[in-house]
Amino acid sequence: MPATNKLIYRLKELNEIGIALSQQRDINSLLELILEASRRITRADAGTLYLHDPERRVLRFEIVRTDSLNIAMGGVSGEPIGYYPVQLYDLSGKPNHAMVVCHAVLSRETVNIPDAYKAQDYDFTGTRNFDAKTGYHSQSFLNVPMCDHEGEVIGVLQLINAQDRASGQIVPFSADDQQLVESLASQAAIALTNRRLIQQLEGLFESFIQLINNAIDDKSPYTGGHCSRVPVLTMMLADAVTRTKQGPLKNFVMTEEDRRELKIAGLLHDCGKITTPVHVVDKPTKLHTLFDRIQLLDTRFEVLKRDAEIEMLKKLASRKQESGVSSKGEADIRAGYEKKFRQLDDDREFLRHCNIGRETMPQSDVKRVQEIARYQWRDNDGKMVGFLSDDEVENLTIRSGTLTSAEREIINRHIEVTIRMLESLPWPKHLKNVPEYAAGHHERMDGKGYPRGLTRSQMSLQARVMGIADIFEALTAKDRPYKAGKTLTESLTILGKFKLGGHIDPDLFDVFIREKVYLDYAWQFLAPEQIDEVDLSKIPGVNLEV
């Protein structure tokens, strides 16, 4: 091949390698590509890629390849490298220029050695020992440092035993070889640095998301962990859908990028709660605001008892002054008031019981609260007023949980805040669906959800996945102030009714059951007493035929 054509061919090869480097996303695959491309354009029999660890001041073996010895370690081979890192400095801190690969790093210069056995400037004792053990003959060496955009060495390419293209004989690395590998090393360093920067930014982004979630979960000891559990369950269900081989969803697939996008959406699905007032998020009892107002009611009961006792003593004293009172009459008076005291104590305990959130509150309890509210007591201004304010009655008669309708509106508003927050961010192309996925976990398939009233056809599958994950986590959560975590049977029964009622996606519910996603989640997050034996034939909506 004429020299001009040969040069054109090798430049074309180098250009193709550069394109491949820019497209590679996986670090291990990128490192593999760098070393193998260097070996290919120089026809090197062996090669090692080292990465520089500036903190430990060593070179770490990342990939080792020797074709003639069938050696493949590190990189995508999966075979571990058992060699110790190469020390760039000795114990006294003196630079290790004796080893050729170290000199390439320390000097930031390429070192081209035609024959290691004739080299006088470097110590090749280790190389000779290797050759003696394996029968190999390490002859020509090319060591090229890989420098980033700031001029810092991030790694070294060490190529061994260039082979003549015609005869296959071991020859020195030519000047053209050196120039091409130096050019490749420069491109490789840029590609590797960019990939590392992207990974670091992605890691920083996920850490920032986790920071937000920790702040939200830390606002309440009763819902702490929700922001971390929902994404886990979301990915469990999404992965189950990708592996299902039957039903309407059997063709659904997700790439690694798709999985990452959904994971981030799961992590951010409640980010709007960061603006929700603490006294609403963390409302353990019905009367709780900045403190539990049940204490105020305790004081009022004591005032009623005090007033009743004063009234009793006055009545006894008055009757005694008028005509004296028999022991039986006095006993009757005291008995009447003692009955009143017991009633007040009983009412106080009843209101304490009502103050604890429950899943349902009987109408009889609501009526009794309203009757107690009509008691009269003298307030701080000396005025006779109703025993309970309208606000206290409203809170104490909350039918389910601890939140009033107004407070629920405040809680529900978090999804609108979440949408505004996420839609305001400049998402890159591969994360552009995060706002839509995260925004849909309170929507319903029949269009009766919130905040946008979307129907099933208007929602992505990923958003529908998050809806089931959010509900099941809430049902089984064992850290709510007003309920214990439900068992698997109880939770699946409710979820099945939701399927039949148009609340959740029916096909996803089928996958959730068929792939036993609920059980995988249970072993990780539920208490042992919650994991009961589930009889699927008794769960509403379960289609055992699918």
Q: What is the pLDDT of residues 137-147, one digit of tens each?
A: 999 999 999 88
Q: What is the pLDDT, as a whole number, of residue 8? A: 63
Q: Is the predicted pLDDT of residue 110 greater than 90, yes or no?
A: yes
More confident residue, 281 or 130: 130
Instruction: Reply yes or no on whether the pLDDT at 393 is more than 80.
Output: yes
Residues 6+ apart with CB under 8 A from 321: none
* Residue 248 pLDDT > 90: yes
The arithmetic mean of pLDDT across residues 509-533, rounded, is: 94
Average pLDDT estimate for 517-530: 94
Q: Considering the entire predicted model, what is its pTM?
A: 0.69
3-state secondary structure of 98: coil
**CATH fold match for the domains 3-198 and 222-270+406-538:** no
Q: What pLDDT score was predicted for residue 414? A: 82
CA 473 to the chain's CA centroid? 14
Superfamily of 3-198 according to CATH = GAF domain (3.30.450.40)
123 close to 80: Cβ distance less than 8 angstroms: no
> Which pair of tokens denotes residue 24?
């590679």
Average pLDDT over the chain reads 86
For the chain, the domains span 3-198, 222-270+406-538, 294-402
Return the pLDDT at 403. 85
- Per-residue pLDDT at 5: 59
Any idea of the CA torsion for 478, 483, 485, 491, to the nearest 10 degrees? -140
Residues 282-327: tens digit of each pLDDT: 777 888 887 888 899 998 999 888 888 888 888 777 776 666 555 6
Q: pLDDT tier at 484 (50, 70, 90 boundaries)?
A: confident
For residues 331-359, average pLDDT: 87
Check residue 3 and give its pLDDT: 56
Contact 526, 488 (CB under 8 A): yes
CATH number of the structural domain 222-270+406-538 = 1.10.3210.10
Nearby residues of 153 by Cβ (< 8 Å), 6 or more positions away:
52, 105, 108, 145, 146, 147
